[in-house]
Structure 1
């Protein structure tokens, strides 16, 4: 899941979070059972159609978040071209884009608190095995919430590099990006400690 916000309110915002997450799980499972690249291409067009339904503004915001997939798609494409398995590579890439696009649709139209409530209900039985649901809920919430923040900071780093050099940033921003990520992690850890850590979370 990539995005957390939608610039346009849609009918899907009023659908139950549990229903949308269940639909996401089912559709992703179906994607992994399909082997035909042509069918995957058709399904991807269908997903893009879902992005287009709420209007151009919603579609542009959603597709903008999917641009981060291009390095993964490039690696998969190069590998399968080298191995001669072009059809398999196309299937993997189309499946990847469709699955992430569907997940992005869910997060764009679902409040984080609603998703956490669903997760809380599903993880409650795991208390018997020693799992603290609040820890799992907080971990997933942090991943979903901080991923767009890190992506934005990575984009800003790349733009800052391009403003100062004619060369592509590439691997050169990996170190400062890592430092930024670690700094953010430290701030989040300090904020959790200031609020009592996980003990406070368990009391509610």
Structure 2
């Protein structure tokens, strides 16, 4: 089954989902308040050290691979403008924040996260049913590895048929695939009576 949750059990799997999500929010707030490249790099060192301590560093790094081209674009843009330091800080923050988020999803069952989202969405119940918001968040998290796999399959299919690099066409193809998958999920939910 495609999932972001690691099948390898660690001590972090036993922590409550709410605690991990709260620590993630706190870490992200502190990370974006840190000034300078050195302190921001230390912020990145924390999730890396945790991933290593949990024995999940290989999978953790693999999940960060899609950020390589985004980081390269940010660094190139800031280099072109002659402001490399803000670009480096932005990339470090992005990798650290998403790396910490990956650790949470790798060590937390989706049903546990959905329960936290349901609890957090209760104050919005006069506007939107909390179950719908919780389901939307769970589906978003669940579809991340599916979209990653779909992008990899489309890229391999393109490489088998052409010697040219796929480039931006992959973004368009993955977007269409995501919309198609979303339509199938919506049909399945409607067939089962939707969600309260």
Q: TM-score over 0.5 for the alignment?
A: yes
Please give the alpha-carbon distance, in whole angstroms, between the structure 2 residues aligned to 1:36 and 1:64: 27
Equivalent of residue 150 in structure 1, options 133, 147, 153? 147
Please give the alpha-carbon distance, in whole angstroms, between the structure 2 residues aligned to 1:71 and 1:89: 14
Query: 2:59 aligns to what?
Result: 61
| Residues 1:174 and 1:88: Cα distance change in structure 2 (over 3 Å) | closer
Offset of 1:119 from its aligned partner?
A: 1.5
Q: Does 1:21 align with 2:21?
A: yes
Offset of 1:174 from its aligned partner?
A: 3.6
Query: 2:120 aligns to what?
Result: 122
Query: 1:98 aligns to what?
Result: 96
Offset of 1:183 from its aligned partner?
A: 1.7
Q: Does 1:141 align with 2:165?
A: no
Please give the alpha-carbon distance, in whole angstroms, between the structure 1 residues aligned to 2:93 and 2:170: 29
Please give the alpha-carbon distance, in whole angstroms, between the structure 2 residues aligned to 1:126 and 1:171: 38
Q: Is the 8 A contact 1:7 1:61 kept in 2?
A: no
Please give the alpha-carbon distance, in whole angstroms, between the structure 2 residues aligned to 1:178 and 1:36: 36
* 1:33-72 deviations in Å (ceiling 9; x for gaps): 01211111122123211111122xx211111011111122
Aligned pair count reads 194
Q: Is the 8 A contact 1:8 1:54 kept in 2?
A: no
Query: 1:112 aligns to what?
Result: 110
Offset of 1:87 from its aligned partner?
A: 1.0
Q: What TM-score do you get using the length of structure 1 for normalisation?
A: 0.90
Q: Does 1:34 align with 2:34?
A: yes
Query: 1:85 aligns to what?
Result: 83
Q: Does 1:166 align with 2:159?
A: no
The two structures, once aligned, show a CA RMSD in angstroms of 1.4
Secondary structure at the residue paired with 2:13?
helix
| Residues 1:122 and 1:177: Cα distance change in structure 2 (over 3 Å) | closer
Q: Is the 8 A contact 2:117 2:137 kept in 1?
A: no
Q: What TM-score do you get using the length of structure 2 for normalisation?
A: 0.93
Higher relative contact order (CA 8 A, sep 6+): 1
Please give the alpha-carbon distance, in whole angstroms, between the structure 2 residues aligned to 1:91 and 1:146: 29
Structure 2: segments with no counterpart, 5+ residues: none
Equivalent of residue 180 in structure 1, options 167, 177, 193? 177
Secondary structure at the residue paired with 2:54?
coil
Offset of 1:116 from its aligned partner?
A: 1.1
Secondary structure at the residue paired with 2:74?
helix
Structure 1: segments with no counterpart, 5+ residues: none
